[in-house]
């Protein structure tokens, strides 16, 4: 039986490079999906501009136009729920979302984060990895829960730290691997192979004991 394309909503505050990676994968047939909406807290973000250029449904709601954080969450997540997504991808969304808003879409949200979680939740991950003298760095895809960058891990990609690396160089080297990780993980959702729970993720009906690892050929080992 042919599965319908995965309906993806993307939530972003920045330039939209992960959104572009998803669109590229859809365009080449790598990812059987459709972007049903792009949502942001910043009307001038690159993600919203990209949505407009590609004729996608785009909604930006500024926090300052809402009376408080909860009201902003409610307004934005009502717009997201209205497009009936199968999967919501947090792709550089720079605000913490409250539990009440998350509860309405529980089990359908993933975030891509530029560190090897549980190391370095939050901001400045590249500089923190360098300051710690780590041998490797990477990115993680995890389920979204109310706790910051703490939901069950799905997949990771690793890169070595190199002599002379600074934070911008490390970020630039990681970014294409981050894009590949997101596409590979979204493909598992498009194949309806993943289920998310509050405390774990399942692949093909089995609980993941550790995050899948992306190899050099952009395949998730063990998937």
Tell me if residue 113 is catalytic.
yes
The SS3 call for residue 9 is: strand
Structural class in CATH, domain 6-221:
alpha beta
Question: How high is the pLDDT of residue 20?
Answer: 98
Residues of the chain with pLDDT under 70: 1
Structural tokens at position 54 = 């590609």
Residue among 113, 126, 142, 179 flagged as catalytic: 113
Domain limits, the chain: 6-221
**Burial class of residue 216 (count of CB atoms within 10 Å of its CB; 0-12, 13-18, 19+):** exposed
CB 11 within 8 A of CB 88: yes
Cβ neighbours, 10 Å, residue 193: 13
**pTM of the entire structure?**
0.96
Question: How high is the pLDDT of residue 1?
Answer: 67
CB 131 within 8 A of CB 100: no
Question: How high is the pLDDT of residue 2?
Answer: 85
């Amino acid at each position: 039986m042919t599965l319908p394309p995965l309906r993806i909503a993307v939530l972003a505050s920045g330039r939209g490079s992960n959104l572009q990676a998803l669109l590229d994968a859809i365009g080449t047939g790598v990812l059987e999906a459709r972007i049903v909406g792009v949502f942001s807290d910043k009307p001038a973000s690159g993600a919203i501009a990209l949505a407009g250029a590609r004729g996608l449904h785009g909604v930006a709601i500024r926090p300052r136009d809402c009376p408080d954080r909860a009201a902003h969450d409610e307004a934005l997540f009502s717009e997201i729920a209205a497009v009936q997504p199968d999967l919501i991808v947090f792709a550089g969304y720079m605000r913490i979302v409250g539990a009440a808003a998350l509860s309405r879409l529980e089990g359908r949200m993933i975030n891509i984060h530029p560190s090897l979680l549980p190391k370095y939740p939050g901001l400045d991950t590249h500089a923190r990895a360098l300051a710690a003298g780590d041998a490797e760095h990477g990115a993680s895809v995890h389920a979204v829960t109310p706790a910051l960058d703490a939901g069950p891990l799905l997949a990771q990609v690793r890169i070595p730290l190199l002599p002379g690396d600074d934070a911008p160089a490390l970020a630039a080297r990681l970014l294409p691997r981050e894009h590949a990780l997101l596409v590979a993980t979204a493909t598992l959702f498009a194949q309806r192979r993943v289920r998310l729970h509050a405390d774990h993720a399942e692949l093909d009906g089995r609980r993941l004991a550790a995050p899948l690892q992306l190899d050099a050929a952009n395949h998730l080992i063990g998937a």
